[in-house]
Amino acid sequence: MYHKLLQQGSRITPPGRSIYEADWDVLVVLDACRYDLFAAAVSSPDTDFAFVDRGSLTATRSVESATRLWMRRTFGPGVEGVEQTHYVVGSPWSSLQLDESWFASLDPVWQDAWDDDHGTLLPETVTDRALAATHEVDFDAGERLLVHYMQPHCPFIDSPDIATPKAADGFTDAAERDVWTRLQAGEVSLDEVRGGYRANLDLALVEIERLLHGIDSERVIITSDHGNATGEYGLYGHPESMPFDCLREVPWFETTAIDTGERPSSGRVRSDPTSEEPTDDDIEVRLRALGYR
């Protein structure tokens, strides 16, 4: 009842800005990245990325506060620009919300590259697939590349003690508590969650730098589908259709990409990817791994 009451605020607040209201050749989506988190990361003296030095940051309002409805409100057969989009997507919601026929191409990376050791899709895997996709994108003809990373969305890759990752089929265990449930219960501290959240973002930024070293583009945007609540208004995580800034205010970072001719690979050791087509049960357990079930 409380959530439904809060959701009514969406009726009287601005609807948000679709990514297709802007001009871009390459757009990178960070999953569940608050504006303040991104701003702190790119302004940190420890952050040294060429794309950051070339860019400028503003805030924008997302069309939704969770991925499922963000996809529903962003894409569709009647949305101008979608049919020119090559979409490399890491989120399992893609199988439930998107139709391949809408896009120039759709690569649901998670279907065959889910990392059971970490309980998520690693950012370097998405970068590899996005770089491969650039060979199919005809930028001169108005086609676009959209790359959707899973980070900084939990689980936190380098902090398994905060929300222990398991093999995908292990997340069917109803006793598994995601990071937001544990934060609300006081089992982990807000500082621990913020630290894991920031570390996940830093891993994604490393991969965005690698991606943008493999493309030439004057119009690159880095943004997010939604934010995260860490206790504001009694909310945790990212419940749907909420109007609050912690969930709807996201980064809008404009930069450029310069192909250096180098193709460095990630140094992370990865578990063997899944080779079989995911079943409905696979989709459910992977959404559970990400805290959606």
pLDDT at 172: 30
Half-sphere exposure of residue 286, counting CA atoms within 13 Å on the CB side?
Answer: 26
Looking at residue 108, its pLDDT comes to 96
What local confidence, expressed as pLDDT, does residue 160 receive? 86
Whole-structure pTM value: 0.87
Domain ranges in the chain are 20-257+278-289
Edge-first strand order for the sheet with 249-257 is: 56-61, 249-257, 217-224, 26-31, 144-152, 85-89, 105-108
Fold adopted by 20-257+278-289:
Alkaline Phosphatase, subunit A (3.40.720)
- What is the predicted pLDDT for the residue at 176? 52
Model pLDDT, residue 167: 40
What is the per-residue pLDDT for 79?
97
> Which pLDDT score, from 0 to 100, does residue 162 have?
86
Residues of the chain with pLDDT under 50: 166-175, 269-271, 273, 275, 293
Structure confidence at residue 1 (pLDDT)? 62
Tokens, residue 239: 């419940």
